[in-house]
């Protein structure tokens, strides 16, 4: 299948020379179709691009993005961090652990790793530096912790995967809870080992009045994940409806309760999110057309057959798949990875008898690792800028242990499906 080689080489060529991902994917698809002689199928590209957006579950993507932005602008993230600092101040390397725990909670609000890095980093990096952490350490801690933003539900990449692989968004959300918890605990253990000597445990006692005041200020931030996940799994609304409810909740809390969110700020957030989401949806359009061609042309089946024939061991196949996802995560954005690899990876994993929900869980974890690993490293660059660290090499060296640990835990989740699908099964959800 020479057109498959054309597809890969042209895509790599365009990406190397800085062509926007959506354009690169679209041009590579058209050129490979021409090579295959499928000229009559070219009009179908437009149809596939349109139908890819005609999806009710995909509507959750811009809505969750907007709700996370509104929660950040309204100051809810700051109140959340303040509460976490009060609760976990006696842990070893408390500031680092609080950064991780706050990132996990904010991830349950925003569904975005970059947004989590910006929101939590903007609040916690300076206190970490004041506590004795080097700026490179603070950036590395924040970048790795922010990766929890797309593993803890709700998660924007999970919505994209669920739509692409035709699996339940709710099931995939539940599949991310245990892996996300494992990562958060592992981060905190590593913080204690690496930085326990830097920051001693707090010795000042907290009064009940201080606790109550901080708790009531943060109660509406803590209620956000309960509202979203409780509503979904309580059967009150779908994930897409939950995303809309979360936007309304953020507006009410910001405008009526905290009174620091104006109409001007809401409009500014809507405009910023519109530009960001538009670029993501453009990639969805073009990548969906490529995925359709890869599947309908038989290329996906041929690759799947070749992989299964070349590697007979299940663990070897899973290792290769995870390594591929890890490498792609370092150089391509999450949406593109999901849309480009699903047509090939899903048939391979289905032949191994694996659930697509389980595959989605470890795929999202790989993407999270890639967001911390250069050269893409979205959360790393944001954290580096917030820490005002000019030596990027120092930050990369400090983040390597976290990358290694994240990838090892990802492999464990890939090898042991029960870690991701046990919770959805207990709740009676489809896996």
Question: Of residues 356 and 33, which shows the higher confidence score?
Answer: 356
Tokens of 42: 């070219």
Q: How confident is the model at residue 98 (pLDDT cuts 50, 70, 90)?
A: very high
Tokens of 410: 């990802």
Question: Of residues 357 and 56, which shows the higher confidence score?
Answer: 357
Q: What integer best gives the mean pLDDT of the chain?
A: 84
Mention every residue, 6+ apart, whose C-beta is less than 8 A from residue 81: 98, 102, 120, 123, 124
The residue among 409, 391, 390, 413 whose CA lies nearest residue 401 is 409
Q: How confident is the model at residue 143 (pLDDT cuts 50, 70, 90)?
A: very high
Tokens of 233: 């799994």
Would you say the C-alpha torsion 265, 121, 85, 131 has a positive or negative sign? negative
**33-47, 131-145, 149-163, 353-367 — which is least confidently predicted?**
33-47
Q: What is the mean pLDDT of residues 277-305?
A: 77
Q: What is the pLDDT of residue 205?
A: 73
**Does residue 288 carry a pLDDT above 70?**
yes
Cα distances from 320 to residues 305, 310, 326, 358, in angstroms, run: 15, 11, 10, 16
Task: Classify burial at 115, counting beta carbons within 10 Å of its beta carbon; exposed 0-12, middle 13-18, buried 19 or more.
Answer: buried
The residue among 288, 344, 28, 313 whose CA lies nearest residue 163 is 288
**111-115, 205-209, 217-221, 313-317 — which is least confidently predicted?**
205-209
Cα distances from 247 to residues 9, 47, 66, 280, in angstroms, run: 42, 31, 7, 19
How far apart are the C-alpha atoms of 163 and 169, rounded to whole Å? 8
pLDDT one-digit tens code per residue, 78-92 = 788 888 888 888 888
What is the SS3 string spanning 114-131?
HHHHHHHHHHHHHHHHHC
**Does residue 362 carry a pLDDT above 90?**
yes
Q: What is the pLDDT of residue 148?
A: 93
Do 97 and 192 meet the contact criterion of CB atoms below 8 Å apart? yes
* H helix or E strand, kind and range, residue 55: none
Looking at the chain, the whole-number percentage of residues with pLDDT higher than 70 is 96
Tokens of 211: 């606790």
**Does residue 300 carry a pLDDT above 70?**
no
Q: What is the pLDDT of residue 412?
A: 95
Do 182 and 43 meet the contact criterion of CB atoms below 8 Å apart? no
**Does residue 330 carry a pLDDT above 70?**
yes
How far apart are the C-alpha atoms of 383 and 103, rounded to whole Å? 13
Tokens of 49: 């691009």
Q: What is the mean pLDDT of residues 209-223?
A: 81
Choose from 53-62, 121-130, 214-223 the range with maximum mean pLDDT.
121-130
Task: Classify burial at 88, counting beta carbons within 10 Å of its beta carbon; exposed 0-12, middle 13-18, buried 19 or more.
Answer: middle
Q: What is the pLDDT of residue 304?
A: 67
């Amino acid at each position: 299948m020479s057109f498959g080689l054309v597809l890969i080489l042209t895509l790599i060529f365009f990406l190397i020379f800085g062509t926007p991902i959506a354009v690169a994917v679209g041009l590579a698809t058209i050129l490979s179709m021409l090579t295959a002689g499928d000229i009559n199928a070219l009009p179908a590209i437009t149809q596939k691009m349109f139908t890819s957006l005609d999806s009710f579950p995909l509507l959750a993507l811009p809505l969750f993005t907007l709700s996370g932005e509104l929660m950040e602008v309204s100051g809810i993230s700051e109140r959340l961090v303040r509460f976490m600092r009060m609760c976990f101040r006696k842990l070893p390397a408390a500031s680092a652990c609080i950064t991780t725990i706050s990132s996990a909670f904010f991830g349950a609000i925003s569904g975005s790793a970059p947004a989590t890095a910006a929101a939590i980093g903007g609040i916690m990096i300076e206190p970490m530096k004041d506590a004795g952490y080097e700026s490179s350490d603070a950036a590395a801690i924040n970048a790795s912790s922010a990766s929890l933003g797309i593993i803890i539900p709700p998660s924007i990449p999970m919505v994209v995967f669920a739509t692409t692989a035709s699996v339940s968004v709710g099931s995939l959300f539940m599949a991310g809870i245990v892996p996300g918890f494992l990562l958060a605990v592992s981060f905190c253990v590593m913080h204690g080992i690496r930085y326990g000597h830097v920051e001693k445990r707090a010795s000042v006692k907290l009064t009940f009045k201080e606790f109550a005041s901080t708790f009531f200020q943060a109660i509406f931030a803590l209620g956000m994940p309960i509202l979203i996940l409780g509503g979904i799994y309580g059967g009150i609304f779908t994930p897409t409806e939950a995303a809309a409810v979360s936007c309304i909740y953020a507006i009410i809390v910001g405008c009526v309760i905290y009174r620091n969110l104006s109409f001007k700020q809401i409009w500014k957030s809507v405009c910023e999110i519109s530009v960001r989401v538009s670029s993501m949806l453009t990639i969805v359009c073009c990548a969906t057309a490529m995925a359709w061609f890869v599947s309908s042309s038989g290329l996906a089946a041929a690759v799947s057959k070749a992989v299964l024939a070349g590697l007979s061991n299940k663990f070897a196949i899973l290792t290769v798949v995870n390594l591929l996802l890890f490498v792609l995560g370092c150089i391509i954005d999450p949406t593109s990875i999901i849309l480009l690899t699903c047509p090939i990876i899903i048939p391979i994993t289905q032949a191994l008898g694996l659930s697509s929900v389980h595959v989605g869980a470890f795929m999202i974890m790989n993407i999270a690792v890639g967001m911390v690993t250069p050269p893409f490293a979205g959360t790393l660059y944001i954290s580096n800028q917030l820490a005002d660290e000019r030596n990027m090499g120092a930050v990369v060296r400090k983040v390597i242990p976290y990358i290694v640990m994240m990838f090892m835990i990802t492999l464990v989740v890939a090898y042991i499906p029960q870690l991701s699908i046990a919770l959805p099964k207990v709740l009676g959800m489809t896996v």
